Structure 1
Amino acid sequence: MNDDERTALDAWADKLRQALELNDLEFDIDRVLDLAGDAARSVVRPAAPVTTFLVGYAAGRAAAGGSDPATAVSDAIVTATGLAAAE
């Protein structure tokens, strides 16, 4: 990804966070991209968006149940990455 693409991605993420009222959400874009890449390479390309959606949903559910949101995201990413590596 070049600098212009990274700038556009960061701007999009900020805009989407605001639209979804997630202004205080901190997340590591590079970690999400790595997860998507692992899923795409290990399973099939369409696994990338499916994986990131399911990881986000699982993390949100865990956070709603009282888990620390950052821990919930990290745990879901570790699980998904492990499964993709086993493919």
Structure 2
Amino acid sequence: MTDSADLDAWASELSEALGIGELVVPVSVVLDLARDAAHSVARPAAPLTTFLVGFAAARRGGTAADIAAAAAIASQLALRRLP
């Protein structure tokens, strides 16, 4: 299993390389969202969902609240597909 510190370090390293180093990545929110999409929709929905949520959050302003709001919408939509 991947250590959460490894994921935090990766998110930090990648953010810096992408020129968004000031971004604090809510890793657990992203992973929970990916899980909901993968289990409720289909496995390939996980990366697609996280990308779309990130894009939507950025368009809203990119704050932690924007990320949480977009993730909540996507999780709720995905979880509605469960029987």
TM > 0.5 fold call: yes
* TM-score (normalised: structure 2): 0.87
Q: Following superposition of structure 1 onto structure 2, how do residues 42-61 of structure 1 map, counting pairs within 5 Å?
A: 42-61=40-59
User: Computing the radius of gyration over CA atoms, which structure comes out larger, 1 or 2?
Assistant: 1
Q: C-alpha distance in 2, partners of 1:12/1:37?
A: 19
Aligned counterpart in structure 1 of residue 77 of structure 2, from 76, 79, 83 = 83
Q: Which structure's residues are more often helix, by fraction?
A: 1
Using the aligned pairs only, state the percent identity.
49
Query: Unpaired segments of 5 or more residues in structure 1?
Result: none
Cα distance, 1:27 vs structure 2: 2.2
Distance 2:72 2:56 in 1: 12
TM-score between the two structures when normalised by the length of structure 1: 0.83
Q: How far apart, CA to CA, are the structure 2 residues paired with 1:49 and 1:55?
A: 10
Report the AA paired with residue 80 of structure 1: A
Point out 4+ residue stretches in structure 1 off by more than 6 angstroms. Answer: none
- The question of 1:74 aligning with 2:68 is answered yes
> Which whole-Å CA distance do the structure 2 matches of 1:72 and 1:60 have between them?
8
CA distance in 1, matches of 2:71, 2:39: 16
Q: Would you say the 8 A contact 2:29–2:68 is kept in 1? A: no
CA distance in 2, matches of 1:71, 1:7: 23
Match of 2:11 among 10, 13, 32: 13
Residue segments in structure 2 that go unaligned for 5+ positions in a row: none
* CA distance in 1: counterparts of 2:49 and 2:36, whole angstroms: 10
Q: What RMSD, in angstroms, separates the aligned Cα atoms of the two structures?
A: 1.5
1:2 CA displacement: 4.1
Aligned residues: 81
